[in-house]
């Protein structure tokens, strides 16, 4: 997958000025009457590896958008992607641009081919490639960088490893096979709220209901170290694209940024969004945004953009409501977020300047 051309990196002062003067927000709504709607309860968003599409989960359905085409007629809808209840989490495979994983309240993990006709839908609905039972409600997904191992975190604090393999059938058509095995770390670690692999795939970062962040060896799951920097539960963790930091968000409304060489807390950022359940680094690792997930109603409106090295707030972009989910484009200064009326919004969508 060739990476798109990336914009020139900008110092934080120039970046803030450009965002203030030039940024535009594009709405991606499933209805043309978006101004009269309450904010839809989007439960997950995910960019594809190169950012040519972005997926959203709403109730039992998944929708795939082209970030440069906000017209709903140019999107792909996967209906009834969960047999029972909501789709809870989406994640694109890091090595196959069109392969999307989903999990939800029906206790299953599914792989979808989200391409649309002409190189990208089969009848505009996407294609299910594989499905496996993982048990209880799936709450989080995280792909290993190798693109064939996928962790599914369940509501009962059990973690399942889904092994996915792309096979070639006798007729030449590729098929996907999956196998499932339990891969739960030691039970005395308590409640597992989120997991993310390091960029190399050799470590697994784990957030917990008790607050400490566990760093585990992969695949042995031996504990390498424990980080303590939050006064309550930690919910989400991400490794920066440069590898220099991990970001951790917690119920205490704080984002901690940890230096990955010496493993000290380099910066702590107070989020005005309330509990932090979602964090995302920009492609260059210089900036970070956060969301409060389904707790977003408790926070304040505005999308806070923070400079990672200094911990300073660069700018807060206006929003109608608190931000629920936020994610930077993999190669551009575009920011997708949810929480406002109409559904998905993308700041700078389609801009070649950003």
Is 2 within the bounds of a domain?
no
**pLDDT for the residue numbered 172:** 62
**What is the distance between the alpha carbons of residues 71 and 58, in angstroms, rounded to a whole number?**
17
Q: Is 1 a domain residue?
A: no
Residue 132 clears pLDDT 80, i.e. is over it:
yes
Distance CA 38, CA 328 (A): 24
Question: 173 pLDDT band (50/70/90 cuts)?
Answer: low
pLDDT at 170 over 70: no
Backbone angles phi, psi at 72, to 5 degrees: -60, -25
Q: What is the dihedral of CA 18, 21, 22, 28, to 10 degrees?
A: 110
Q: Are residues 216 and 325 in the same domain?
A: yes
Cα–Cα distances (Å) from 318 to 32, 126, 340, in that order, read 22, 34, 11
Q: Give the pLDDT band (50/70/90) at residue 90.
A: very high
198 and 114: one domain?
A: no
Is residue 119 very low, low, confident or very high in pLDDT (cuts 50, 70, 90)? very low
Are 207 and 305 contained in the same domain? yes
- Is residue 130 domain-shared with residue 227, that is, in the same domain? no
Is residue 318 domain-shared with residue 191, that is, in the same domain?
yes
Q: What is the extent of the structural domain holding 228? A: 7-37+186-354
Say which CATH number the domain at 270 has: 2.130.10.10
Q: What is the mean pLDDT of residues 334-346?
A: 95
Total domains in the fold of the chain = 2
191 and 305 share one domain = yes
Exposed, middle or buried, 148 (CB in 10 Å: 0-12/13-18/19+)?
middle
């Amino acid at each position: 997958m060739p990476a798109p051309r990336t914009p020139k990196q900008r110092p934080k002062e120039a970046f803030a000025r450009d965002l203030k003067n030039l940024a535009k927000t594009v709405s991606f709504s499933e209805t043309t009457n978006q101004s009269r709607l309450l904010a839809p309860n989007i439960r997950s968003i995910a960019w594809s590896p190169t950012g040519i599409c972005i997926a959203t989960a709403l109730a039992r359905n998944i929708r795939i958008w082209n970030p440069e085409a906000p017209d709903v007629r140019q999107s792909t809808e996967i209906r009834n992607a969960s047999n029972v209840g909501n789709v809870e989490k989406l994640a694109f495979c890091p090595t196959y641009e069109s392969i999307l994983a989903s999990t939800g309240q029906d206790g299953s993990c599914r792989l979808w081919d989200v391409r649309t006709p002409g190189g990208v839908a089969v009848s505009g609905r996407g294609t299910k490639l594989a499905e496996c039972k993982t048990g209880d409600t799936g709450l989080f997904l995280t792909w290993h960088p190798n693109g064939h191992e996928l962790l599914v975190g369940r509501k009962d604090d059990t973690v399942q490893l889904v092994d996915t393999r792309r096979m070639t059938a006798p007729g030449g058509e590729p098929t996907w096979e999956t196998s499932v095995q339990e891969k739960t770390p030691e039970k005395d670690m308590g409640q597992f709220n989120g997991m993310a692999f390091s960029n190399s795939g050799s470590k697994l970062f784990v957030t917990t209901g008790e607050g400490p962040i566990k760093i585990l060896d992969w695949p042995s799951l031996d504990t390498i170290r424990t980080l303590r920097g939050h006064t309550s539960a930690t919910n989400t963790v991400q490794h920066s694209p440069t590898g220099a930091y991990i970001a951790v968000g917690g119920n205490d409304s704080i984002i901690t940024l940890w230096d990955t060489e010496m493993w000290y807390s380099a910066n702590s950022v107070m989020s005005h969004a309330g509990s932090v359940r979602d964090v995302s680094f920009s492609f260059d690792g210089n900036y970070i945004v956060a969301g409060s997930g389904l707790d977003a109603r408790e926070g304040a409106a505005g999308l806070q953009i923070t400079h990672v090295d200094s911990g300073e707030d660069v700018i807060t972009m206006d929003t109608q409501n608190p931000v629920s989910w936020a994610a930077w484009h993999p190669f551009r200064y575009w920011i997708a977020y949810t929480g406002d009326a109409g559904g998905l919004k993308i700041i700078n969508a389609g801009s070649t300047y950003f």
